């Protein structure tokens, strides 16, 4: 069922991992998708090929979400090439895992600039066409560490917690314009990043999950597709955890 037929989506950081899965799922649901990347052009073009070969519509769109000029160019490219913008998924993110006492100011800034400021910049620009058309879906990809914290991830947890606050504020500001803003907060998800975890750390994390298994990229993508659809038109300012019960708050 093409719940998103006629919609145009921009997914940031979509050349791999969760972003790739989200782009593919939105296209499967009928949306035309802009696959954003900062430096992984090959990965982004692969995602575009996967979508188009399956009968969907997609373009690759380069831009660093932490740079305001890039964001303006990125949204302009999407609206001109695809004809508008209805769905924004702020997925681009980086991490710098180390204890706070060892974390440099430069690394703190790098994480906050991409994970939080990037979402602010992209949302700000994307809201312009959304407000004109009185329709939009903003979906920000956070993490359960926004609620629990995690040793060695103070910058990442701070950025993701800030993303929750940003989303709720935006949701209140644009609720009367037909625009919703929500958060999807994944827990332990099988990606290339989590595959690099040591067996000890992975076992410890799985012990926190009542379902006793990691989630998949498709689990996260399905949640995003729902929030992007008309079926979620009365849901805004919400945090949807996709974590197998890891964090029940």
Distance CA 17, CA 212 (A): 22
Q: Determine whether 135 is an active site residue.
A: no
Could you tell me if 99 and 151 are in contact, meaning their C-beta atoms sit under 8 angstroms apart? Answer: yes
Instruction: List the one residue out of 178, 58, 171 whose CA is nearest residue 130.
Output: 178
Q: How far apart are CA 141 and CA 181, in angstroms?
A: 11
How far apart CA 81 and CA 54 sit, in angstroms, is 20
Question: Which two three-digit tokens encode residue 111?
Answer: 């994480």
Q: What Cα–Cα distance (Å) separates residue 143 from each residue in 64, 99, 129? A: 21, 18, 28
User: Which residue among 156, 164, 186, 188 is the active-site one?
Assistant: 156
Runs of H (alpha helix) within 60-144:
68-82, 105-112, 118-133
Residues annotated as catalytic (active site), given as ranges: 156
């Amino acid at each position: 069922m093409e719940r998103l037929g006629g919609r145009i989506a921009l997914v940031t950081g979509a050349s791999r991992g969760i972003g790739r899965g989200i782009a593919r799922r939105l296209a499967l649901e009928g949306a035309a998708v802009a696959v954003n990347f900062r430096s992984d052009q090959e990965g982004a073009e692969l995602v575009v090929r996967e979508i188009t070969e399956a009968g969907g519509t997609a373009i690759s769109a380069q831009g660093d979400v932490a740079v305001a000029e890039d964001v303006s160019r990125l949204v302009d490219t999407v609206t001109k090439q695809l004809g508008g913008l209805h769905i924004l998924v702020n997925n681009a993110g980086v991490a710098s895992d180390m204890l706070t006492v060892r974390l440099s100011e430069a690394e703190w800034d790098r994480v906050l600039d991409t994970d939080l400021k990037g979402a602010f910049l992209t949302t700000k620009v994307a809201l312009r066409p959304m407000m004109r058309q009185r329709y939009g879906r903003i979906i920000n990809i956070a993490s359960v560490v926004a609620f629990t914290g995690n040793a060695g991830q103070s910058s990442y947890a701070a950025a993701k917690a800030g993303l929750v606050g940003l989303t709720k504020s935006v949701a209140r500001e644009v609720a009367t314009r037909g625009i919703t803003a929500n958060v999807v907060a994944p827990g332990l998800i099988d990606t290339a990043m989590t595959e690099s975890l040591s067996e000890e750390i992975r076992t410890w994390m799985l012990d926190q999950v009542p379902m006793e298994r990691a989630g998949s990229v498709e689990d996260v993508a399905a949640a995003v597709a729902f929030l992007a659809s008309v079926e979620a038109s009365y849901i805004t300012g919400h945090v949807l955890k996709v974590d197998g019960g890891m964090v029940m708050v």
